[in-house]
């Protein structure tokens, strides 16, 4: 009787793998982009312990325990959710810094593709504010409705950088014509 295939095959040495390099890579400090966490990181501790000290969950599934039992009746739950709110983080300043940073509103970068901007410029130059005529134009490749074209042009007008260039170019042309 023959052996099972798994028992038959034996481990072969992988000459293409540098085991020393891989071990160093696994033991290396992880690259951290967040300045608040980087400041408080302790290289002597594990990732899990570091995050626990900062009050950050390493595994979100274990941080908030959801009951496994189904509700007995509609709207009633037999087992209540358990939270570890008693554990206060040692490095609470990290959480405070992260919360403060998250409350700072980010800048909205409004942009539009060059193709869409060119479409809007052509339509405004040709038809002005007549969106129904724009919808019938042969350059309306995507067969946009008058409302869609109007929204696109309004978005173009709401982008200060692009619309400023357009208005300056039109003013320059009007002064040259007169």
Per-residue pLDDT of the chain (178 residues; tens, 9 = 90+): 566 666 666 778 888 999 999 998 887 767 888 888 988 988 888 888 998 899 888 888 888 777 777 665 555 544 444 444 456 778 888 989 999 999 998 887 888 999 999 999 999 999 999 999 999 999 999 999 999 999 999 999 999 989 999 999 988 887 776 6
- Looking at the structure of the chain, the number of domains it has is 2
Within-domain flag for 168: yes
Where would I find the H helices in the chain? 5-8, 19-27, 35-40, 47-54, 60-63, 92-103, 114-127, 131-136, 146-158, 160-177
**Is 160 in the same domain as 137?**
yes
Strand partners, 83: 64
pLDDT, position 127? 96
**Is 43 in the same domain as 97?**
yes
**Is 123 in the same domain as 92?**
no
Within-domain flag for 137: yes
Say if residue 153 is exposed, middle or buried (CB neighbours under 10 Å; 0-12, 13-18, 19+): buried
**Is 96 in the same domain as 133?**
no
Per DSSP, the residues of 84-110 read --S---S-HHHHHHHHHHHHSPPPP--
**Is 91 in the same domain as 41?**
yes
Within-domain flag for 75: no
Within-domain flag for 41: yes
Q: How far is the C-alpha of 91 from the C-alpha of 53, rounded, in Å?
A: 6
Within-domain flag for 96: yes
Within-domain flag for 108: no
DSSP state of 128: T
Tokens 């496994």 belong to: 68
User: What b-and-e string marks burial along 45-57, b requiring 16 or more CB atoms within 10 Å of the CB?
Assistant: eeeeebbbbbbee
Within-domain flag for 122: yes
Within-domain flag for 120: yes
**Is 92 in the same domain as 121?**
no
**Is 141 in the same domain as 161?**
yes
Q: Report the predicted TM-score, pTM, of the whole model to 2 decimal places.
A: 0.47
Instruction: Residue 138: give the domain boundaries.
Output: 114-177
């Amino acid at each position: 009787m023959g052996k099972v295939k798994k028992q038959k095959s034996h481990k072969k040495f992988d000459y293409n793998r540098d085991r020393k390099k891989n071990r160093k890579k696994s033991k290396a400090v992880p690259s951290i982009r967040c300045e608040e966490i980087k400041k408080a990181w302790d290289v002597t501790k594990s990732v899990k312990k570091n995050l626990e000290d900062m009050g950050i969950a390493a595994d979100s599934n274990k941080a908030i325990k959801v009951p496994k039992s189904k509700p007995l009746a509609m709207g009633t739950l037999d087992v209540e959710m358990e939270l570890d709110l008693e554990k206060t983080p040692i490095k609470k300043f990290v959480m405070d810094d992260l919360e403060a940073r998250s409350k700072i509103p980010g800048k909205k970068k409004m942009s539009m593709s060059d193709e869409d901007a060119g479409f809007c410029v052509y339509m405004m130059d040709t038809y002005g504010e007549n969106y129904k005529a724009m919808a019938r134009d042969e350059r309306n490749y995507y067969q946009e409705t008058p409302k869609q074209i109007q929204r696109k042009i309004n978005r173009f007008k709401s982008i200060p950088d692009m619309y400023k260039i357009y208005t300056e170019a039109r003013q320059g042309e009007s002064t040259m014509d007169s």
